[in-house]
Amino acid sequence: MNFQRRLLAAGAACAALCAAAWLPAVAQAPDFPPKKPVTLVVGFAPGGAADAAARLIAKKLADNVGQTIVVDNKAGAGGNIAHQFVAGQPGDGSVLLFGSVGPLTIAPHLMKLPYDPFRDLAPISGGVYFPNVLVAHKALGVKTLAEFVALAKTKSVDFASTGAGSASHLAGELFNQRAGIDMVHVPYKGGAPALQDLIGERIASYFAAPPTAMPHVEAGRLIPLATTGLTRPDYLRGIPTVAEAGYPGFEALNWYAFVAPGKTPAPMLDRWNREIVKVLNDAEVKEALLKHGLTPQPTTRAEFAAFMKKESDQWGTIVRQRKLTAN
């Protein structure tokens, strides 16, 4: 089931329940837009997919609402540092988070966090989603996924991620499970430093975000082996999916979404939802995001709350089956 269908199914199944149990309900909202500049926090280093998407969206959002929006990169711990920071901020609408699949739905199953994503952060809207692409450096000597698996069965092969509990980490662990191999996980603080080490041949492979990996693929510096969606998006048309390469049903999508501190009043969340959805539906923004390999995914607050719960349940199962920890 692809991302859109999973999102719709999640919304139909439990949107009402999630909304009732989680979404804040406070009658009076603070001023909108906030009187001070708005900070959009990103949990990864500059230069990666999250940073690129956040800056594209923030620029149009700032123009629309008439307030400065500053993108603040707080990298580290697979994005958990940024999520913990935003969870502790006042709910006046001046601090938003471009949250990611790892800290919101995977990390809580891997480690004890000082915040609860379902209590201390409030959903606003989906943002963007994309499959990762498994890339390897040229010196590894493989050109196909089958060759990569064969190599991994004869010698130790490692793979980079943007941190323990990130989407790229779980994509690798899911592939370990399906392929019957044991790649060694090496966490980084973001996509850019991971790619630097991959190009420098200090790491063997990486389930990378297309916006950061494909320029290096096109330049011949990296070898693309497979993508992690069920189908090939247009911008990855020449690369087979993991499912096509011999592992039917394999799917591990990456996504980023908008959340706010959990104490943010519902009217403020509703207003930010309207503004963010408007931007994600803007033709120029959509075109720019798609050029970066990012598919816009605007939602209602309830739809995203339901989807987050469904993703949490799914990845929690993988963590338990693989007996994963944060180490």
The answer, yes or no, to whether the previous bond of 123 is cis (omega within 30 of 0) is no
The whole-angstrom distance between residue 309's C-alpha and the CA centroid of its chain comes to 15
- What confidence score (pLDDT) does residue 235 get? 84
- What confidence score (pLDDT) does residue 78 get? 82
Instruction: Tell me whether residue 246 is in a domain.
Output: no
Q: Are 13 and 118 in the same domain?
A: yes
Q: Are 119 and 23 in the same domain?
A: yes
Q: How many domains does the chain have?
A: 2
Residue keyed to tokens 């190009």:
199
Report the alpha-carbon distance of residue 40 to residue 95 in Å, rounded.
6
Q: Are 108 and 7 in the same domain?
A: yes
Instruction: Tell me whether residue 190 is in a domain.
Output: yes
Q: Are 32 and 50 in the same domain?
A: yes
Q: 146: domain CATH number?
A: 3.40.190.10
Can you give the residue range of the structural domain that contains 315?
A: 3-130+255-322
pTM over 0.85: no
Q: Could you write out the three-class secondary structure of the chain?
A: CCHHHHHHHHHHHHHHHHHHHHCCCCCCCCCCCCCCCEEEEECCCCCCHHHHHHHHHHHHHHHHHCCCEEEEECCCHHHHHHHHHHHCCCCCCCEEEEEEHHHHHHHHHHCCCCCCHHHHEEEEEEEEEEECEEEEEHHHCCCCHHHHHHHHCCCCCEEEECCCCCHHHHHHHHHHHHHCCCCEEEECCCHHHHHHHHHCCCCCEEEECHHHHHHHHHCCCEEEEEECCCCCCHHHCCCCECCCCCCCCCCCEEEEEEEEECCCCHHHHHHHHHHHHHHHCCHHHHHHHHHCCCEECCCCHHHHHHHHHHHHHHHHHHHHHHCCCCC
Structure tokens at 48: 């990666």
Q: Are 25 and 118 in the same domain?
A: yes
Q: Are 126 and 259 in the same domain?
A: yes
Order across the sheet with 95-100: list the strands: 69-73, 38-42, 95-100, 253-261, 121-131, 295-296
Q: Are 44 and 104 in the same domain?
A: yes
Instruction: Tell me whether residue 244 is in a domain.
Output: no
Instruction: Tell me whether residue 243 is in a domain.
Output: no
Q: Are 35 and 169 in the same domain?
A: no
- What confidence score (pLDDT) does residue 322 get? 85
Q: 60: domain CATH number?
A: 3.40.190.150
Looking at 236, 270, 291, the residue that finishes a domain is 236
Instruction: Tell me whether residue 98 is in a domain.
Output: yes
Report the alpha-carbon distance of residue 308 to residue 295 in Å, rounded.
17
Q: Are 174 and 228 in the same domain?
A: yes
Q: Are 125 and 260 in the same domain?
A: yes
Instruction: Tell me whether residue 122 is in a domain.
Output: yes
Answer yes or no: are the C-beta atoms of 95 and 74 closer than 8 Å: no
- What confidence score (pLDDT) does residue 19 get? 44
Looking at 236, 264, 291, the residue that finishes a domain is 236
Q: Are 125 and 148 in the same domain?
A: no
Q: Are 158 and 126 in the same domain?
A: no
Instruction: Tell me whether residue 318 is in a domain.
Output: yes
Looking at 207, 236, 265, the residue that finishes a domain is 236
Answer yes or no: are the C-beta atoms of 230 and 243 closer than 8 Å: yes
pLDDT in tens, the chain (327 residues): 555 555 555 555 544 444 444 544 434 556 899 999 999 999 988 888 889 999 999 999 999 999 999 999 999 888 899 999 999 999 999 999 999 999 999 999 998 999 999 999 999 999 999 999 999 999 999 999 999 999 999 999 999 998 888 889 999 999 999 999 999 999 998 888 999 999 999 999 999 988 889 999 999 999 999 999 999 988 899 999 999 999 999 999 899 999 999 999 999 999 999 999 999 999 999 999 988 888 999 999 999 999 999 999 989 998 998 888 876
Instruction: Tell me whether residue 249 is in a domain.
Output: no
Report the alpha-carbon distance of residue 182 to residue 80 in Å, rounded.
26
**How many C-beta atoms lie closer than 10 Å to residue 326's C-beta?**
16
